[in-house]
Structure 1
């Protein structure tokens, strides 16, 4: 329809011009001394239009000629930009495919042809990742160093990547410095807090781990269960630093009640009490846990403390064990612990019956050894020798 309208319009214009030329009988005189030229008005109009068109064309040609160097430069920049963007895409794809050498090469190519500092930074980050994957750490550090000249807007990304790669290399001190530089720019950046938490765990720095755990939990970056695991690990790391019984007691009271109910942590604390020759405190802690939740591991640890606890504590433990016995009569470890407590209290007959009951359920090296020691102390050498022989057989079977 448009074509038809254009054709009709052109014909109408032609007819109009033809009629105008027939009606217009005027003329124009161009006087340039000593010349005098007389032209029809129609011709004069045609010449004027033609002169304007030619002048316009010449001016456009002159402008295009003068602007040619700029156009060439723009063309070259666009060409380089196409090359850079293509190389950046290829580098990203190659890195994802595990072709790190190509990824590094294409990233450098993109960096050379890019004009934007942000895109140059992205290319250098890719090159650094690829070099790290190939263990070319000098080249990696060189690419990261080149980012210093690209402006402050890229330094957070540079520091975060640097920290991640250095942590992967187990250079915790340098990784921590990079994380601190990143946090100086963005103090509450969750990713930086996570990285620092990993570094502090590797450095066995429980105080920092606890502080970072609370920050991450408050920002909802980790779940409550994750936070609890991090706390428990930090508390275990703190234990060897506590070398005084009073200090250990104060530390234990500062821990949240929920964490004190954790059997593995409580067991570790009890073992630390035992190392500090605070056997009664260790036994009291284990006794409280056993009253809440029975565990053979806790019972076994109590048995190890039988010779170290005070007489009053030993009697309490013996009563607790005997109270637990009806519901755990087939637990060989409980019977062994009761035998150790009875032996330590010089209740020879009761100790022997407990050791024999433990052996009847599960013949273990520890039960044979305890019974052999008891019989030897009672001057029953022949019976003791049989249990010593049984210990040797079990030990050889485990080799």
Structure 2
């Protein structure tokens, strides 16, 4: 119905125009200088309509031609960008699937086409590394640096990670030191430095780095304690190796004392560091120096390992050494390890009765093979061979049980 009405309206309009043309064709004159153009109004209107239609047709034709060329030869910036985006996406998919060679090629092409060049060059470098193409890996990193001069931290971290993976520890260390100088509080830079120092066994550098790692919350408190203990145990072992060949006692213990003196006040309050220090002195044959240091700190740095070691070494003044340990009885009246140490020190001072009392008190608190053996030796010396044999038997039984 609507179409019919529209057609009737169109016929009526055409009929009206035809009547107007018959009734009066009109007259138009265009003159300029010696040029003139004249005709009816309707002829000029028809010419205008034809000109507009011709312009539209030509414009449409050019657009159609340009579109055809664009489809055949993707040379426009838009098509290049889309192609680069597709290459980047495909490259990342290939990378995720472990197809390193294909990923390297696609990502490199995407970067060269201007699609996120930094990210694609870095990803291409990783793919080249996994593919074993280390020259290309280095080349991509250089191109990444050229494409984004301000991204040296991101590029440096990628380089350090790849060097670490290849076992190029010294080169990785140099890169990370440069990055840390630029950004001292960068979490990941410091974390990678920790890994490098561990793998290089650079315990001094690791020990110096650990407070920063804890402050930046790169490691937990438990990991800090574990790494700190590992680093200083290794450092004191190095000090032992350096000093053991020296004939002069002062020269022998100098490396260990140097480590101890460099510790902060807080570190010197850690019982495990104190134990490593005095244990090192003892192994170096400096028992008198170790005993003097231990006696001053027995109360505030007490541990079972420390008090046990205290009873196994011989100080310059045996009586003073015993008195130093007995001062702890008021604080620790039920400490089996302390009673064992007191028993040993009484034996050194030839206080046989007192030694027996301390050792028997230790046994009542805790059954230990060492205590049985000490009592066995003491009673054998006192002529109580039957009891001595029984203590030796029980000590041996406990030792065998622990080994099974």
TM-score class, shorter-chain normalisation, is: 0.7 to 0.9
3-state secondary structure, aligned to 2:388: helix
| Kept after mapping to 2: 8 A contact 1:339/1:351 | yes
Structure 1 Cα separation of the partners of residues 183 and 262 of structure 2: 32
Shift in CA distance, 188/356, structure 1 to aligned 2, threshold 3 Å: closer
Shift of 1:66: 7.5
Deviation at 1:280, TM superposition (A): 3.7
Aligned partner (choices 197, 206, 216) of residue 209 of structure 1:
206
In the other structure, the counterpart of 1:320 is 327
Report the CA distance between 1:53 and its aligned residue.
Answer: 4.5
2:173 to 176, 186, 201: 176
What does 1:1-16 align with in structure 2 at a 5 Å threshold? none
Deviation by residue 1:171-196 (Cα, 9 ceiling, x = unmatched):
43243234245457756644223211
Change (3 A) 1:286 1:110: same
Counterpart of 1:391 in structure 2 is 395
- Taking structure 1 as the reference length, what is the TM-score of the superposition? 0.73
Distance 2:56 2:119 in 1: 47
Matched, 1:366 2:370: yes
Say which SS state the counterpart of residue 176 (structure 2) adopts. Answer: helix
Give me the whole-angstrom Cα distance separating, in 1, the residues matched to 2:103 and 2:258.
Answer: 60
Cα separation, 1, equivalents of 2:108 and 2:60? 38
Alignment coverage as a number of residue pairs: 369
Q: Which of 84, 90, 93 is the equivalent residue of 2:93?
A: 90
Work out whether 1:269 is the aligned partner of 2:277: yes
Q: Take 1:270 and 1:83, find their aligned partners in 2: how far apart are those partners?
A: 66
The TM-score with structure 2 as length reference comes to 0.72
Per-residue deviation at 1:341?
Answer: 0.4
Give yes or no for contact 2:346–2:352 (8 Å, CA) kept in 1.
Answer: yes
2: distance between equivalents of 1:285 and 1:215? 30
* 1:365 Cα offset (Å): 1.8
Alpha carbons 1:29, 1:39 under 8 Å: kept = no
The structural deviation recorded for 1:271 is: 0.8
Deviates more, 1:275-284 or 1:257-266: 275-284
**Are the aligned partners of 2:111 and 2:120 in contact in 1 as well (CA < 8 Å)?**
no
Output one character per residue of 1:110-158: Cα deviation in whole Å (capped at 9) or x when no partner: 44355445635534544555677xxx46147744543323443265434
Question: Is residue 147–residue 155 contact of structure 1 (8 Å, CA) maintained in 2?
Answer: no
Unpaired stretches in structure 2, ≥5 consecutive residues: 1-5, 244-251
Take 1:313 and 1:169, find their aligned partners in 2: how far apart are those partners? 58
Is 1:301 the equivalent of 2:309?
yes
Contact 2:319–2:349 under 8 Å retained in 1: no
Q: 1:181 to 1:316 in 2, by over 3 A?
A: same
CA distance in 1 between partners of 2:263 and 2:26 (Å): 113
Paired position in structure 1 for 2:140? 146
CA displacement at 1:353 relative to structure 2: 2.4
Task: Flag the 1:304–1:167 CA change in 2: closer, same or farther, 3 A.
Answer: farther
Taking the aligned partners of 2:254 and 2:381, their CA distance within structure 1 comes to 37
Range that drifts further, 363-372 or 106-115: 106-115
Judging changes above 3 Å, is the alpha-carbon distance between structure 1 residues 201 and 347 closer, same or farther for their aligned structure 2 residues? same
* In structure 1, C-alpha distance between the alignment counterparts of 2:295 and 2:136, rounded to whole Å: 60
Contact 2:84–2:114 (CA under 8 A) maintained in structure 1 = no
Matched residue SS, 2:327: helix
In the TM superposition, what is the alpha-carbon distance from 1:160 to its structure 2 partner? Answer: 1.1
Secondary structure of 1:25's aligned partner? coil
More deviation in 145-154 or 254-263?
145-154
Using the TM superposition, give the Cα deviation of residue 340 of structure 1 relative to its aligned residue in structure 2, in angstroms. Answer: 0.3
- Contact 1:318-1:342 within 8 A present in 2 as well: no
Matched residue, 2:267: 259
Match of 1:100 in 2: 98
Tell me the distance in 1 between the aligned counterparts of 2:258 and 2:199. Answer: 26
State the secondary structure of the residue aligned to 1:352: helix
* CA distance in structure 2 between the partners assigned to 1:339 and 1:302 by the alignment: 12
Looking at structure 2, the residues matched to 370 and 43 of structure 1 have their Cα atoms a distance apart, in angstroms, of: 134
Structural RMSD (CA): 4.2
Pairing of 1:1-399 with structure 2 (within 5 A) = 25-28=26-29, 39-51=39-51, 53-54=53-54, 57-58=57-58, 61=61, 65=65, 69=69, 72=73, 73-74=75-76, 77-88=80-91, 90-91=93-94, 95=96, 99-101=97-99, 105-106=102-103, 108-117=105-114, 119-126=116-123, 129=126, 136=130, 138-139=132-133, 142-152=136-146, 153=148, 156-168=153-165, 171-180=168-177, 182-183=179-180, 189-213=186-210, 220=216, 222=218, 225=221, 229=225, 233-242=230-239, 243=243, 244-246=252-254, 248-249=256-257, 251-292=259-300, 294-305=302-313, 307-324=314-331, 327-328=333-334, 331-399=335-403
Query: SS at 1:292's partner residue?
Result: coil
